[in-house]
Every structure is written in structure tokens, then in C-alpha cells.
């Protein structure tokens, strides 16, 4: 490993990232194989176009815009040569409080908004890059830019894309949040992660709504994470069967992640920003239904739950209350 690459990775760990790897960006991604195990060879752009053609993006129109740019980092950062993939462990040993009357929030949203946590660390690491090579250009994202970050995380050796379409790490299981720094620096690349899913289909079978249309491909229009976070329609516009299968989930869904065997030995995170609060670990549905829009904004000011917006969150709470078992 070159001294520059070694210093960079050391700095990433010192900034609090739990996983770091480097992917080399080819001069063209058009012919780059991004096929999961068991698929015929397809390019990154072809896989994205297939997903879009099936309409699996739902109302997320930004996914449909300029897919060529999303599939090619050199269109995001000209002369991009390397991508530094970074992972932040968000697993805690806390158990969700799902007593009667409580909803369920996805684990990644139990603590502080991960975008805020990532932003500070990414900027600090970019400064390290500039100190190593002052003339290099950089651009960083944490789930906010036109970058297919799970693919590049696999290329950088952080893990592999599982059949639930999320990254699986052999060390951290399914509990890594991802960010990346694009740079014009030539860095020493890591070996891509190897798909170790084998014949396992636990995640496919665990999905409450059958959103995993085929292994490695998720139909967002059926995915509870999409329905509770990105979907902007009201309750009546949602299929009644989907509403019923949403159960008590009011923001996101962990079902396909929870069952992954690689989570068995996942270590608890040491990141303070990922620790749960009493509200997010056991959200009381009746109390949440009484929130005003001002209360919502204040309560979730530093939480990713803001993404659902007040109307969407209240819709989710109302559906969860309707799904409460009757006695």
C-alpha cells in the first residue's frame, strides 16, 4: 500500500469512520460489469435503466433524470480517478420498544441525522486529501448526490450488494451507512467485495410487502421504506393491502436487514450520533398523532425523520394506529 493511501485510510478511521476502501474509476463505466452473482454481464448504466424502465422508482423523479450522469462519476467530477468509500456503523444493542401503542422507526433514524454526522467527517477528510495533494479536486456525498454509492462501496471492498439491494459487510453486517469522496487523485484501489449471499433468500422472504421483485432488485413502490419516507401521497391513495402490511412501521423498515445472517456478530457502534432516544426507540403513536406541525419541526429538527415531512409522518402514524390489534 502506498504511503498516501495508508495515511488517507488512517485519517478516515481517526475521523470516526468504521470502514474505508478505495475504488478505481475507469475511463468509461459503459462496459464495466456490475452484475450481481447469477446475472448475465450488464453495465452499471444498463442495470439502472432496467430498474427505471420497470417503474420501480415510484415518485422519485430525480432518479429518472440523467441516468448517464448517475452511472458515471466522471460526469459528476471531471477527471475523477478514485472514489473513497466510507462506512459508518449504526448498529446499537438497543431493542425497539414495540409494546402495544408504539410504532417502529428504522434503526438508522434512531439518533441524529446521519447526513449531519457524515458532513463534518467528510469535510475533515477532504482537508486531509488536500494536504496530501493540494492540486486535487474532490467532491463528497452522503446519500445526497448522483452517485450509485452501494456499487462503489462494493468496488472499494466494503462488502457486497445483497439480495435486498443493500450493502452487506462481513464485519458490520447490514448496518453501514455510506458516504464517499470523489477525487482526481490516483489512489491504490482495494479488491472489490465478493458476493457471499449464496443460496440464502431470508431477506427476500422477510419483506412484508414482497418489494424485492427479484434478488438484488427492489420495487420501491412496494417498499415500506419508500412508502413511509419518500411517498408524498395521502393515506387513501395507498393500496389498502400495502397499508395493512405496513403494520406499526412509521418511518422506514428493517425487516430485510434484521434477518441477514451476517448481522449475528455485528459490533455496536461507538458513534454518539447514532445512539437512540426514548422517543425513537419506542415512539408512542397517540402522542405522535397529537403533534402540531410546529411540534414536529421542533421534535425532529436534527433527525432524518424530517424527510417524511409533517403530512407524510402523520399519515404513517394514522395507518399504524389503524393497524393496531383490536381486543
Q: Which positions are annotated as active-site residues? A: 143
Give the Cα separation of 322 and 251 in Å (integer). 16
Nearest to 271 by CA among 125, 167, 118, 143: 118
Give the Cα separation of 316 and 322 in Å (integer). 10
Using CA of residue 83, residue 85, residue 86, residue 90, what is the dihedral sign? positive
Is 109 in contact with 304 (CB distance < 8 Å)? yes
Q: Quick one: how many helices (H) and strands (E) in the chain?
A: 14, 10
- Grid cell of 85 as nine digits: 468509500
* Beta strands 160-161 and 249-251, pairing class: unpaired
Q: Which residue has the cell 391513495?
A: 237
The DSSP annotation for 177-211 comes to EEEEEEESS--PPPPPPPP--TT--HHHHH-TT--
Looking at residue 35, the DSSP 8-state letter turns out to be P
Burial class, 310, CB count within 10 angstroms (exposed 0-12 / middle 13-18 / buried 19+): middle
Give the Cα separation of 5 and 128 in Å (integer). 11
Give the Cα separation of 273 and 144 in Å (integer). 19
Amino acid at each position: 500500500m502506498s504511503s498516501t493511501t495508508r495515511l488517507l485510510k488512517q485519517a478516515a478511521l481517526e475521523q470516526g469512520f468504521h470502514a474505508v476502501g478505495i475504488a478505481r474509476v475507469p475511463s468509461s463505466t459503459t462496459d464495466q460489469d456490475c452484475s450481481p452473482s447469477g446475472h448475465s454481464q450488464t453495465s452499471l448504466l444498463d442495470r439502472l435503466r432496467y430498474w427505471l424502465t420497470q417503474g420501480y422508482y415510484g415518485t422519485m423523479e430525480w432518479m429518472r433524470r440523467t441516468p448517464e450522469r448517475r452511472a458515471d462519476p466522471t460526469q459528476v467530477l471531471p477527471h475523477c480517478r478514485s472514489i473513497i468509500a466510507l462506512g459508518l456503523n449504526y448498529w446499537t444493542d438497543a431493542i425497539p420498544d414495540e409494546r402495544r401503542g408504539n410504532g417502529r422507526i428504522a434503526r438508522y433514524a434512531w439518533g441524529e441525522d446521519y447526513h449531519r454526522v457524515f458532513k463534518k467527517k467528510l469535510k475533515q477528510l477532504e482537508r486531509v486529501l488536500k494536504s496530501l495533494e493540494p492540486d486535487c479536486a474532490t467532491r463528497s456525498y452522503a446519500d445526497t448526490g448522483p452517485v450509485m454509492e452501494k456499487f462503489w462501496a462494493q468496488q472499494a471492498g466494503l462488502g457486497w450488494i445483497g439480495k435486498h439491494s443493500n450493502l452487506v459487510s462481513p464485519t458490520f453486517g447490514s448496518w453501514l451507512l455510506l458516504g464517499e469522496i470523489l477525487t482526481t487523485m490516483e489512489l491504490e484501489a482495494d479488491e472489490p467485495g465478493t458476493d457471499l449471499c449464496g443460496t440464502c433468500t431470508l431477506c427476500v422472504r422477510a419483506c412484508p410487502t414482497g418489494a424485492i421483485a427479484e434478488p438484488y432488485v427492489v420495487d420501491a413502490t412496494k417498499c415500506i421504506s419508500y412508502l413511509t419516507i419518500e411517498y408524498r401521497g395521502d393515506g387513501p391513495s395507498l393500496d389498502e393491502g400495502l397499508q395493512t402490511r405496513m403494520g406499526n412501521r412509521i418511518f422506514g423498515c428493517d425487516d430485510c436487514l434484521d434477518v441477514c445472517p451476517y448481522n449475528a456478530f455485528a459490533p455496536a457502534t461507538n458513534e454518539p450520533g447514532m445512539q437512540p432516544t426514548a422517543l425513537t426507540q419506542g415512539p408512542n403513536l397517540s402522542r405522535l398523532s397529537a403533534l402540531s406541525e410546529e411540534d414536529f419541526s421542533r421534535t425532529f429538527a436534527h433527525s432524518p425523520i424530517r424527510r417524511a415531512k409533517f403530512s407524510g409522518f402523520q399519515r404513517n402514524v394514522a395507518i399504524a394506529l389503524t393497524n393496531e390489534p383490536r381486543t
